[in-house]
């Protein structure tokens, strides 16, 4: 299997005319011209690491549907790196927004994929990383899963079947925004 030029993971690579379409488990999907890899290899380690963050961010913040275009030289890559740096300057704000989005909708059973997908978009992270972000929020006492309705509801058109209770991620009340006092 070919290796992703950004993160060295095993990835699938498909040739599309002179371009390569890469599907990487870490970076998502991107596409580059035949000359890109050589230009990229000449860049500093810092730039390469920046691009390895920028590509998955760009891919997942775009909804995880469209491959990130890297072109044939490094101009587009520079643009993506500049964009992710702007995003990272306000990371706390984006995390807050991710929590807002997470807590904005209800789900049933364990079917919280659409809530996780919103986090994925806001933070530009894979579903897997978004889910571990949410798990950390729970562990840190920032959000919890609340049951919205205690009664089951009939499913439309099938009176014999009952729907489970609706659930929702909610911000935990007790901790709020209070900073820990008396920390040393």
Q: Give the residue from 83, 75, 86 showing the smallest Cα distance to 33.
A: 75
Candidate list 3, 9, 63, 152; residue touching Zn ion; CB under 5 A: 9
CB contact at 8 A, 12 and 22:
yes
Task: Tell me if 98 contacts Zn ion by CB under 5 A.
Answer: no
Q: What minimum distance in Å lies between the beta carbon of 34 and Zn ion?
A: 19
DSSP 18-64: TEEEEEETTTEEEEE-TTHHHHHHTS-HHHHHHHHHHHHHHHHHTTS
Task: Tell me if 148 contacts Zn ion by CB under 5 A.
Answer: no
Task: Tell me if 77 contacts Zn ion by CB under 5 A.
Answer: no
Where residue 141 falls (left for φ over 0; alpha for ψ -120 to 50; beta otherwise) is: left
Q: Which is nearer to Zn ion, 41 or 139 (CB)?
A: 41
Task: Tell me if 54 contacts Zn ion by CB under 5 A.
Answer: no
3-state secondary structure of 88: helix
Candidate list 13, 21, 23, 26; residue touching Zn ion; CB under 5 A: 26
Select from 17-25, 106-114, 131-139, 160-168 the region that touches Zn ion (CB under 5 A).
17-25
Task: Tell me if 7 contacts Zn ion by CB under 5 A.
Answer: yes
Q: Give the residue from 149, 150, 141 showing the smallest Cα distance to 170.
A: 141
Task: Tell me if 27 contacts Zn ion by CB under 5 A.
Answer: yes
Task: Tell me if 68 contacts Zn ion by CB under 5 A.
Answer: no
Q: Which is nearer to Zn ion, 64 or 164 (CB)?
A: 64
Select from 7-15, 71-79, 102-110, 131-139 the region that touches Zn ion (CB under 5 A).
7-15
DSSP secondary structure letter of residue 142:
S
Q: Give the residue from 55, 83, 81 showing the smallest Cα distance to 69.
A: 55
Task: Tell me if 73 contacts Zn ion by CB under 5 A.
Answer: no
Task: Tell me if 12 contacts Zn ion by CB under 5 A.
Answer: no
- Residues making contact with Zn ion (CB under 5 A): 4, 6-7, 9, 24, 26-27
């Amino acid at each position: 299997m070919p290796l992703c030029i950004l993160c060295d993971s095993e990835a699938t690579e498909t040739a599309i005319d002179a371009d390569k379409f890469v599907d990487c488990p870490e970076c998502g999907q991107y596409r580059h011209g035949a000359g890109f890899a050589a230009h990229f290899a000449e860049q500093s380690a810092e730039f390469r690491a920046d691009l390895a963050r920028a590509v998955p961010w760009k891919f997942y913040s775009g909804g995880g549907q469209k491959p990130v275009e890297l072109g044939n030289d490094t101009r587009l890559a520079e643009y993506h790196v500049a964009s992710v740096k702007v995003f990272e300057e306000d990371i706390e704000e984006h995390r807050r927004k991710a929590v807002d989005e997470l807590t904005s909708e209800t789900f049933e059973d364990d079917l919280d994929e659409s809530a996780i997908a919103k986090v994925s978009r806001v933070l530009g992270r894979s579903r897997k990383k978004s889910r571990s972000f949410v798990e950390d929020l729970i562990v840190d006492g920032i959000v919890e899963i609340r049951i919205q309705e205690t009664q089951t509801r009939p499913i439309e058109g099938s009176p014999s079947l009952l729907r489970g209770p609706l659930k929702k991620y909610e911000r935990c009340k007790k901790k709020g925004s209070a900073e820990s006092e008396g920390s040393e």
